[in-house]
Structure 1
Amino acid sequence: MSFSADEVRFLAQAEQEIVEATVNLDLNKKTMISDVARLRKHFGDCGRAVAELAAARRSAEGKLPQQWLMCQESAQQTTPPAISAERARRLHTALGSNAVVHDVTCSIGTEGHEIIGAGLRYLGSDLDHSRLLMAAHNLKGQKALVFRADALTPASTGANVIIADPARRSGGKRITNPAQLLPPLPSLLDAWSNQPIAVKCAPGLDFSEWSGLVSVASVEGGVKEACLYSADLSDGETREAVIIKDGHVDRVTDLLDDAPEQNLAAAPGEFIIDPDGAIVRAGLVRHYAVREQLWMLDERIAYLTGNRIPAGTSGFPFLEEVPLKKLKSAMAAHGAGSVEILVRGVDVDPDQLRKKLQLKGTKAMSVVITRIGSRGVALVCGPRQWA
């Protein structure tokens, strides 16, 4: 639940008092009603807002600065700072120092913090007055200008690039049609048709008609967003996977033009590799395989195999391939007591399969359920290993 403008102003002025009043509160689902009642006695009508702020900060710990103003909705919706930093790096490379970035859906200022840190100049606008007040507080002391404006009504001149983050949910449900985003993607592109633009979107949308770059980003193994860059920001790329893990950034792009069109699939090697979700969503499994000297088990399925695990990733030591109907006996023969199950290309529920296996051994193992040609197979493996 968001804040009123008056609540934001109060929260900005009562920082130390808020910290002291909430430090010993649990602020979880079980205690929230009693916690809010306690805070109302201390802060009056602003007690609810204090509880919301404290709970949002706890949920965003390690993700956003703890002194920032935020509500739980804005904290959940914000782009991970590591992704924003990578975007700022790309914009700095494309546009140079002191370029002006206009973020037309600035919310609480997360994107601005990273853009300014990269040496770019920042304008932030939004229709939500309360979030604008939070952004102004969060970016205080930095060279940022925030103001109220509709993302579909150009309200700035001289910006070198536009950034937008349309709302991806409505009524608690994820939006899958670009025309139903808030604001709609086609309307947003029309409004800013004469300027370079970067639009953040859900990674599951259909981007097949986008003529610029589609950059899909993951953080610690979880795919977080896709960003559509206009062609003048793409450096010749049309697809990119940005994999952020343990502070390291890996990029896979479609500029690798020697990926063979045929004969990339073959029998399993020493390891089975499940590529990062950003690589899969960006359609760069083949390119990643070529870069890492891996190959595919089936050209239509996104599992890879090879004789080593790429640095910084994990894989499964391959033991044997068995038909699905013989998996239970194979696992018993290996003495499996626990199993990690991966499934792609076959209609199998991992939880139901685990129950059917009735494991009684002591070994930790893994199984990759997939399709090779017309066959549904089980690749029996040892436990996950990291390189």
Structure 2
Amino acid sequence: MGYAFTSDDVTFLRSAAGIAALAEVDALPFSDASRLHDVGVARKLLGSRFAPVVETVLLRRRAVSKLDSPASWLFTDDALQQATASAVARHRALRFSGRDVHDVTCSIGADLFALSAVASRCIGSDLDPVRLAMARNNVPGQLVVQADALRPVSRASAVTADPARRDSSGRRKWHPADFVPPLDELSEVYAGVDLAVKCAPGIDFAVAPWADEIEVVSLDGSVREACLWTRGLATPGVSRRATVIHGDSSWTVTDLEPDDCLVGAPGSWIIDPDGAVVRAGLVRHYAARHGLWQLDERIAYLSGDTPPAGIRAFRVLEHGHYTEKALKALLKTRGIGRLEILVRGLDVDPNTLRKRLKLSGPSEATVVLTRVGSRPVFLLCQAERT
């Protein structure tokens, strides 16, 4: 759960003395070997102030992989875990360009920061006074107020929200009625404005029939969120969208595109579509765009003779009926000592199977285990970056 910051802690951390203390503690390595020693040094330097300073230094170091330039930011552990990655926040903010927008669950300001770069005017609000104080530090110059998301305090015509999906002990909440604020109540309160709600990508889309467009977003191969767009923020004619962000580039596929995808035998390559495409239910649309086909109409693996550019694809070496005994013999013949195991449609645990295969040899490969109809199949492949 991390250190429990207070408003007094935030006031100190923003002061000249706090900034100096942060710089002094940040000079300590805090490696696995030195952590206990470094915490002791910080305690001697700062007395009772050492805990919020040490926690802030460590959180800033963690934040580097998630947020742009977090060296002067303030966080709680929970808030950093829940904060939108900067690349995803920037992507979502683009739909608010030139608008007056209210982030009604602004927390420490990760989304508000991205919005402030493109929106005409921004306001952020939250109920947590500590996170609000941190947001004022992290997004200087933006209006941040304490308010209940379900009691509108602005006239903004565009609203964004990120309901809390964990309880006080950190356990995830799965039912939208248990979100804070609840999903349906958000949609009712803001039925007259353009609304965007960030949700976990695993949400059952059926619980949000009021959403005009559902966008699933992945970042560098990891599915990060589903965003529910309404009214003027939604794309006309689009009900589902997958957006894939890699580094500074991105691409998208929607259900407006053709989905005339065939089903056939394995070709030269196997393609495992990005998780955002799979989660958004757009595998057939993606396949049609790239001239690919499905091995089975209920399985997301695709095949083709030419893989899309810029992805990790799998060149097929051999394929056939899957049994563990036959696969073990094949891998031994080929001298496969390192094996990546991908599974869809079969009840196979890759880690358990890998142990039983007793791999040995100088070569490495990828095996795709799936089914075609009711028949289990394997595809032994070589992973390549196209």
Tell me the TM-score normalised to structure 2 length: 0.93
Specify the code of the residue in structure 1 equivalent to 2:361: G
**Structure 1: how far apart are the matches of 2:30 and 2:114?**
31
Distance 1:225-1:31 versus aligned 2 partners, 3 A rule:
farther
- Name stretches of at least 5 consecutive residues in structure 1 with no aligned partner: none
2:298 maps to 300
2:66 and 2:86 in contact (8 A); partners too: yes
Q: Deviations over 1:330-357 (max 9, x none)?
A: 2222221211110111110101111121
Deviates more, 1:16-25 or 1:373-382: 16-25
**Structure 1: how far apart are the matches of 2:214 and 2:317?**
37
SS of the residue 1:106 aligns to? coil
Alignment map for 1:249-268 (pairs within 5 Å): 249-256=250-257, 258-260=258-260, 264-268=262-266
Distance 1:192-1:33 versus aligned 2 partners, 3 A rule:
farther
Q: Deviations over 1:160-203 (max 9, x none)?
A: 21111011222332222111111111122122221111001001
SS of the residue 2:205 aligns to? coil
SS of the residue 2:341 aligns to? strand
Correspondent of 1:165 among 156, 162, 166 = 162
Alignment map for 1:230-249 (pairs within 5 Å): 230-236=230-236, 237-249=238-250
**Structure 2: how far apart are the matches of 1:62 and 1:320?**
39
Aligned length: 374
Correspondent of 2:52 among 49, 72, 77 = 49
1:70 maps to 75
Distance 1:151-1:276 versus aligned 2 partners, 3 A rule:
same
**Structure 2: how far apart are the matches of 1:288 and 1:155?**
42
SS of the residue 1:251 aligns to? strand
2:96 and 2:119 in contact (8 A); partners too: no
**Structure 1: how far apart are the matches of 2:71 and 2:31?**
16
**Structure 1: how far apart are the matches of 2:372 and 2:228?**
33
SS of the residue 2:303 aligns to? strand
SS of the residue 1:174 aligns to? coil
**Structure 1: how far apart are the matches of 2:177 and 2:262?**
37
1:21 maps to 25
**Structure 2: how far apart are the matches of 1:231 and 1:333?**
59
1:191 maps to 189
**Structure 2: how far apart are the matches of 1:254 and 1:362?**
44
Q: CA deviation at 1:280?
A: 0.7
Q: CA deviation at 1:76?
A: 1.4
1:203 and 1:225 in contact (8 A); partners too: yes
**Structure 1: how far apart are the matches of 2:268 and 2:332?**
22
2:218 maps to 218
**Structure 1: how far apart are the matches of 2:358 and 2:25?**
51
Are 2:41 and 1:38 equivalent residues in the alignment? yes
CA RMSD after TM alignment = 1.6
Deviates more, 1:306-315 or 1:17-26: 17-26
Specify the code of the residue in structure 2 equivalent to 1:341: I
**Structure 2: how far apart are the matches of 1:185 and 1:33?**
43
**Structure 2: how far apart are the matches of 1:41 and 1:305?**
62
2:96 and 2:118 in contact (8 A); partners too: no
Deviates more, 1:265-274 or 1:325-334: 325-334
Q: CA deviation at 1:36?
A: 3.8
1:181 maps to 179
1:218 and 1:244 in contact (8 A); partners too: yes
Specify the code of the residue in structure 1 equivalent to 2:291: Q
- Tell me the percent identity: 44
**Structure 2: how far apart are the matches of 1:197 and 1:43?**
45
Q: CA deviation at 1:119?
A: 3.9
